[in-house]
Structure 1
């Protein structure tokens, strides 16, 4: 493909993303390229890099375009990225917009004027409001300020950096050292998880024998630490109440040495089908799946039967924005309010499952206090038979090496401070 054709394809992909604002961009991109199998691997990377460059900087690009008074379009977003983000001169950028069958069409007079107005401007302007300057949506700023205070700028910058690829060695099949050797890629042990491996650079892990044979799983180190804090041991009964694709179910099965029973629950049948495949590949024999449906009485029938219940709650995902940059624009303040109510409801339901003396572990991949500490505080006030287990105690009882990576009563991880995605985890115990 010519550079002009790649630009046109990137604009088409952005159109598809903007027309489906509630869907993740990576899912839309997968469909987009499946329908265009004539786009080869190298061209696909170039198209994706351009589209994802726009998605990563969309808040800033839209602010600059907004200063011109012109309506934001995918064409203008790409044009703004070329000038503001890649340092092209307006005339140089406009040459990539060509007519013909494979071009995006030439710029009109208004678009040319926007290009000239952006010339010489920095992508990050000192006069920008905090939202676009920090690349954070306005609705998330109050919570981010409350969380990080003076460290907000450093954390915002870390949320823009490329995320590493972390793996978890499957202790059911191999030690971390054996998994690293079998992987055959340059990797280093993660600093906090005793099972973690961090790859350097891009890698296609799914194609390796180590992955196909279940020796490793893709899992951020922070997620591994949450699974460890559950403290699931051989012989226990464990519920993973919002299991998704069962990443933490797999990790807990390893700490249980395949002994006892884990029930992985979720509201999505496709996610649970994917989970079942991962469980088989990893050699997990002590897990079953359960599809939660409206009116489901499963939780009531199993009240008080579980030693450990993990609630990896649906959340805004602010801690994963370096991996999912489109979520900055896809998620709204209304979503936050709705999710806070849903989290409260899920916590209340899942608490019924915990036996006396058992533990309820609440986790999110959010950096916002409304979804984290505030939820835990509200739950403990409403459920007097539960109390918080200090992080240091839960860490030691889980047999984790050294000291926890952060201070405070709960686990609170962030990209700048800990090198992981943003995660929160609180351990609560029910009175005997």
Structure 2
């Protein structure tokens, strides 16, 4: 397929997404199944175009003055790919599966339209219904923060210190030109291009468990928990086990880490990952109907991690279609789930123990507001300051990312060149007797 044919195919996929509200990956898979002639490189190129269009959906449509799939793609070629009108026109010849030639209006808009007078949600490419929440979180930087969330994310890898050092991992992956992550001492970064990322399953360093894909912010969230060898740790929302594996490395396989998730299906990938990583101190606790599979951990945990289900606003660089499928009702549901998890976690944190609340969201409702509500209802818990949290993890520089809205640490593409994450550590000072009653 030619580059012009890739654009035509991407427009077809965008049309499908406009008709059916579903993940872009599903639409791309269906397109590939019905167009068997497209090879893997072709499918990767088409997917890249589709995701770029979704990243720049609002600004692309504003530039073109239309919301059709074609207009979205043409605008994205300028806004996401940086192509000028002549380059776009060359790709739209109407020949051999290329898009139809540009109209005079399309050419004029691509040549002269700007975002100067566009509202913040258009300049920042985020849903209009989030305007007030972005303004609350970022003030005059709302559009800039949104625009940073609409860029391509690099490929970040966490080095598994149970298997080797960052220097060893860099040597084994030298052909991919990795560089050390700026903030995480155990991370490597491979800058994103316009095509597919590296095929990690074919890399020996990955197969043997030396590296795992994990955004730098997620690595930092795990490091800020400061899990120590010999501790008893509960990961209450373990999912596929990314943070549990990171914590196991910090603990050097000493102590015990319990990986639990209310949705047992999400835990399934963890078993193979544990074996590959060489993590021997993780015990997976699978939910079993109404049975209380965590009862023996009441009042015993030095650290309880809540990697809370959230809107995922901070991960929009990696899942740009998710921001357009996000609805106000989903936010309300997540807020209830987060509050319930914080209440559930109370049971397990021992006196002097820590409760870590983590989200990959940048909305105040899901972060500082949740923490303040929890602290108000549970006066025996106190939040550690950003400086205390950062210094406790041996990463004092991270204190500069202290939240301006209350407790915790905030990371974002615009401030830290990472995914958007929020981390708050709270310490329990209430007496053991109150646990014994439960």
> Could you say what secondary structure the match of 1:51 adopts?
helix
The more displaced of 323-332 and 201-210 is 201-210
Aligned ranges 1:51-200 → 2 under 5 Å: 51-63=50-62, 72-81=67-76, 86-88=83-85, 92=89, 95-96=92-93, 103=97, 115=106, 118=109, 120-122=111-113, 124-184=114-174, 185-200=176-191
Q: Kindly indicate whether the alpha-carbon contact (under 8 Å) linking 1:131 and 1:141 is maintained by their aligned counterparts in 2.
A: yes
Matched, 1:13 2:22: no
The residue that corresponds to 1:254 in the other structure is 249
TM-score by length of 2: 0.85
Q: CA deviation at 1:155?
A: 2.3
Q: CA deviation at 1:116?
A: 6.9
Q: Kindly indicate whether the alpha-carbon contact (under 8 Å) linking 2:356 and 2:424 is maintained by their aligned counterparts in 1.
A: yes
CA distance in 1, matches of 2:212, 2:30: 25
The more displaced of 124-133 and 148-157 is 148-157
CA distance in 1, matches of 2:375, 2:392: 22
Match of 2:380 among 375, 381, 385: 385
Q: Kindly indicate whether the alpha-carbon contact (under 8 Å) linking 1:214 and 1:283 is maintained by their aligned counterparts in 2.
A: yes
List gaps (5 residues or longer) in structure 2.
Answer: 432-438
Q: CA deviation at 1:117?
A: 7.7
Superposed CA offset, 1:94-125 (max 9, x none): 95557xxx859969xxx969747845442x42
List gaps (5 residues or longer) in structure 1.
Answer: none
- The number of residues matched between the two structures is 420
The residue that corresponds to 1:335 in the other structure is 330
CA distance in 1, matches of 2:140, 2:78: 31
Structure 1 residues 390 and 11: alpha-carbon distance in aligned structure 2, compared to 1, 3 A threshold? same
Q: CA deviation at 1:195?
A: 1.0
> Could you say what secondary structure the match of 1:315 adopts?
coil
CA distance in 2, matches of 1:307, 1:57: 44
The residue that corresponds to 1:26 in the other structure is 25
Q: Kindly indicate whether the alpha-carbon contact (under 8 Å) linking 1:167 and 1:216 is maintained by their aligned counterparts in 2.
A: yes
CA distance in 1, matches of 2:85, 2:146: 26
Structure 1 residues 424 and 119: alpha-carbon distance in aligned structure 2, compared to 1, 3 A threshold? closer
CA distance in 2, matches of 1:233, 1:142: 40
CA distance in 1, matches of 2:20, 2:306: 29
CA distance in 2, matches of 1:88, 1:364: 41
CA distance in 1, matches of 2:215, 2:366: 20
CA distance in 1, matches of 2:350, 2:253: 21
Q: Kindly indicate whether the alpha-carbon contact (under 8 Å) linking 1:90 and 1:119 is maintained by their aligned counterparts in 2.
A: no
CA distance in 1, matches of 2:68, 2:294: 47
Q: CA deviation at 1:198?
A: 1.8
Q: Kindly indicate whether the alpha-carbon contact (under 8 Å) linking 1:146 and 1:369 is maintained by their aligned counterparts in 2.
A: yes
Q: CA deviation at 1:301?
A: 5.7
The residue that corresponds to 1:309 in the other structure is 304
> Could you say what secondary structure the match of 1:249 adopts?
helix
The residue that corresponds to 2:424 in the other structure is 426
Q: Kindly indicate whether the alpha-carbon contact (under 8 Å) linking 2:59 and 2:75 is maintained by their aligned counterparts in 1.
A: no
RMSD: 3.0
Aligned ranges 1:199-214 → 2 under 5 Å: 199-201=190-192, 202-214=197-209
CA distance in 2, matches of 1:210, 1:171: 12
Superposed CA offset, 1:345-364 (max 9, x none): 12111222222221110000
Q: Kindly indicate whether the alpha-carbon contact (under 8 Å) linking 1:364 and 1:423 is maintained by their aligned counterparts in 2.
A: yes
The residue that corresponds to 2:436 in the other structure is none
Structure 1 residues 210 and 94: alpha-carbon distance in aligned structure 2, compared to 1, 3 A threshold? closer
> Could you say what secondary structure the match of 1:307 adopts?
strand
Q: Kindly indicate whether the alpha-carbon contact (under 8 Å) linking 2:92 and 2:99 is maintained by their aligned counterparts in 1.
A: no
Superposed CA offset, 1:65-100 (max 9, x none): 6x56xxx443443355457774447994895557xx
Structure 1 residues 401 and 378: alpha-carbon distance in aligned structure 2, compared to 1, 3 A threshold? closer
The more displaced of 51-60 and 392-401 is 392-401
Q: CA deviation at 1:32?
A: 4.2
CA distance in 1, matches of 2:306, 2:273: 20
Structure 1 residues 27 and 278: alpha-carbon distance in aligned structure 2, compared to 1, 3 A threshold? farther
